[in-house]
Chain A
Amino acid sequence: MAQCHGSVGLKNMPGGSRRIVLAGNPNTGKSVFFNHLTGLYADVSNYPGTTLEISRGRFGNDVIIDTPGVYGISSFNDEERIARDIILSADVVINVVDAVHLERDLFLTQQIIDTGVPVVVALNMMDEAGRQGLTINAGLLGDLLGVPVVPTVAVRKKGFAELKEHLPAARAGHMTPGLDGLTDRLLALTGSRGEALLVLEGDPVVAGRHGLQPQNRREEIYLKRRQRVNHIVRQVMGETSRGASFGSLLGRWMIKPATGLPILALALYAMYQVIGVFIAGTVVGFTEETVMLERYEPLVQDLAGRFVERESALGTILVGEFGLLTMTFTYLLGLLLPLVTGFYFFLSLFEDSGYLPRVATLVDRLLNGVGLNGRGVIPLILGFGCVTMATITTRLLSSERERRIAIVLLGLTIPCSAQMGVIAGMLAAVGGLYAALYALVIFTVLVVAGTILNTVLPGRPTDLIIDLPPLRLPRADNVLKKTGTKSFNFMKEAFPLFALGSVIISVLQVTGILEFLQDLLAPLTAGWLNLPKEAATAFIMGIVRRDFGAAGLTDMALTPVQTAVALITVTLFVPCIASVLIIFKERSKQEAAMIWGGSWAAAFLTGGAVSQLYGAFGGGTGSRGIVWIILACLGTAVATVLVCLLIKRRGRAAAERGPGGG
């Protein structure tokens, strides 16, 4: 905890340059500033001891460092701790403030000013504020804060030149009244006003660095700061007009279950139509079949054939069935790229319009049942894009307990977009009833696993507190840019893992180990799941990437039930290598190993149960068996929820009787 590397966390700082730090609340547009100021030469690295990525770039002679978006600097979570350390070691802070949420954002501004570091404020989203009828007197705000304030509209590149101009004018602002006396007393002990402030605010880590006891004056200081901020806002802000626009009415509908659930269903249906039907079918049909399989693969096989024997071991690894040059590129470019792009397009749309926090509000109660709060919907939805990235975003959840539950649910039940594409295609071919069976079984596993974890793990879900930004029409350029960046980053990350996976599989194939493993797993695949023994290949491939697993099933001759069983098993099966690596990084080794092993068990248990039940209910006599299995599923889910409720109630009653019984 209290590491003594001072407050500097990043290495290789060029000598003599200043550290300019970008800080602000979440979603204020910091990254737009960062990209503009640094140009292309950003260096993204993990912050020591964490997997949080911190971007650094050059600005003239100086270094610009981005920080995670936070509401204040303290020790409430990783983001805050990192933002705190980077800000404390800054020479200048550019504080990006959302003009629409001045009252909320200025709390951080004032806290940064209270640390005594020179500050320039970029008053961003001035256009949005204007649209909402808010006027802000930037000059007066600067006078009251005691630092330069520059109005900007980052997405339109407005105000950047002025910001650069004002950077040299950055200065320490006016502290919260009554604070200077307090910090002065500690200054001699800590050596810096910022550290003195955090000791006063009861930050245990900063206090520990100086061998001091954290002081218990946080609330007193926060209240003073809040009062000052409210006072400033009253003076600088005017409202010219307000009133219920269409946006706020729609925003209200999105939150209420009666209207919100249909809207959510509609949004998901639109997503399914575009990604699941149009992209997975039409687009991928062209990119994968026509372009990659019919044109690209024969070409590269022909080319490679001039240098190596096609049937040799090297030939197989390069251009064979799972070849490095054939399968890797076909899957990555032909299949994954269109799907992932489609997914990120929707996600950017939801993000940019302000819909996501409203979904979080709508589903808060439901997610409480599986031990999460409404915020948990964001990683869960993201998981449908890429489980690896979603696992990283579980950081935004408020407690360790929630992160643990979310990561288990993501790894176990959420199929990523690549896998979904393959699954959707295969389910469409076997009909609606089997698709329903698949969806219900997976949903049941999610409910059962979440409910059990929520019961077994000590504690309870933390309460939701989320800010609902104004609903707005997404800006096309914003959405496209986000989609592009995210898809590109994903490809960059996925490519090496994909290549590695294909080499592993090819080597297994060439050496005959693949066949050996198939035989080894045969009792499981053939005996218990009633699948052809070749299905084992799909599972082994699934260890590497989930969609490998699903795609490996497409060429097999399977009955509809076998298809459903295979898809259920492969979905619940272990997350891809990339996700597993992230899980090991984010959690303890023991916990990660348990998650990995647990997915094996859950996948084969569930898949086998469905297959065996189907046999027990009369097998091939049409749809009756399926309906029974669906009912059994629902029964299991309801029973689990009831039992867990009972256990919880008992536990609570016992706790009340126990210590407080006197």
Chain B
Amino acid sequence: MTLDRVKRGQFFKIASIMDDLTRTQAIRFGLTEGALLSCEEVVPAGPIVVRRNSQLLALGRGLAGQILVEPAKVNVRC
């Protein structure tokens, strides 16, 4: 599943990021492969807002489509 398909409130882990440049940019923002994120908001046809710890990031839909994620199995602390 790609990141643009996640639903609000869902927890997931980043499996892989396809594009090279996107991947290095993402690492700076803390989005590494294996990072645990939650989806804060999905703007219809627009960006996906994800939360990683206390940080909120808005990712354009095209970018989100390049990030492969897998749903996190365990419910983490809220």
Contact = CB atoms under 8 A, between A and B. Distances in A.
Given A104-B55, A360-B58, A364-B46, A222 B27 contact: yes
A334 interface: no
A364 B58 contact: yes
B41 A252 contact: yes
Nearest to A134: B54
A226 B30 contact: yes
A373 B58 CA distance: 12
A362 B28 contact: no
A242 B54 CA distance: 9
Given A134-B54, A357-B58, A468-B56, A255 B28 contact: no
B78 to A, nearest CB: 8
Contacts of B76: none
Given A252-B40, A365-B46, A104 B29 contact: yes
Interface in B29-78: 29-30, 32, 40-41, 43-47, 49, 52-63
B2 to A, nearest CB: 13
A55 interface: no
B28 A107 contact: yes
B58 A468 contact: yes
B10 interface: no
Interface in A355-401: 357, 360-362, 364-365, 368, 373-374
B60 A219 contact: no
A365 B45 contact: yes
Nearest to B56: A468
B46 A71 contact: no
A140 B53 CA distance: 20
Contact of A463 (B32, B44, B60): B60
Given A223-B27, A252-B40, A362-B46, A103 B58 contact: no
Contact of B32 (A71, A226, A252): A226
Contacts of B53: 103
A113 to B, nearest CB: 15
A230 B62 CA distance: 27
Given A364-B60, A463-B60, A132 B54 contact: yes
The interface centre, meaning the residue of B26, B29, B46, B49 with most chain A CB atoms within 10 A of its CB, is B46
Contacts of B57: 465-468
A374 B58 contact: yes
Contact of B41 (A227, A242, A255): A255
Given A103-B55, A465-B58, A361 B30 contact: no
Contacts of B63: 463-465
A255 B54 contact: no
B59 A103 contact: no
A103 B23 CA distance: 17
A15 B62 CA distance: 51
B51 to A, nearest CB: 9
Nearest to B65: A463
Contacts of A96: none
B70 to A, nearest CB: 19
The interface centre, meaning the residue of A104, A239, A373 with most chain B CB atoms within 10 A of its CB, is A104
B63 to A, nearest CB: 3
A218 B24 contact: yes
B27 A467 contact: no
A279 to B, nearest CB: 33
Given A465-B60, A468-B49, A222 B54 contact: no
Contacts of A460: 62
A388 B59 CA distance: 29
A72 B62 contact: no
A465 B41 contact: no
Given A103-B53, A255-B49, A465 B29 contact: yes
A71 B60 contact: no
Nearest to A100: B54
Contacts of A104: 28-30, 55
A255 to B, nearest CB: 5
Contact of B47 (A76, A239, A464, A467): A464
Contacts of B28: 71-72, 104, 107, 222, 226
A101 interface: yes
A466 B61 contact: no
A158 interface: no
A256 interface: yes
Contact of B59 (A72, A100, A222, A465): A465
Interface of B: 20, 22-30, 32, 40-41, 43-47, 49, 52-63
Given A107-B28, A463-B62, A465-B57, 16 more contacts: A71-B28, A71-B29, A103-B53, A104-B28, A223-B27, A255-B43, A255-B58, A257-B46, A361-B46, A361-B49, A364-B46, A464-B58, A464-B59, A465-B25, A467-B58, A468-B57
19 contacts: A71-B29, A101-B55, A104-B28, A107-B28, A132-B54, A219-B20, A222-B27, A223-B27, A239-B54, A255-B43, A257-B43, A362-B46, A364-B43, A373-B60, A374-B47, A465-B25, A465-B63, A467-B55, A468-B56
Top 8 closest A-B pairs, CB basis?
A463-B60, A463-B63, A464-B60, A365-B46, A468-B56, A361-B58, A222-B27, A463-B62
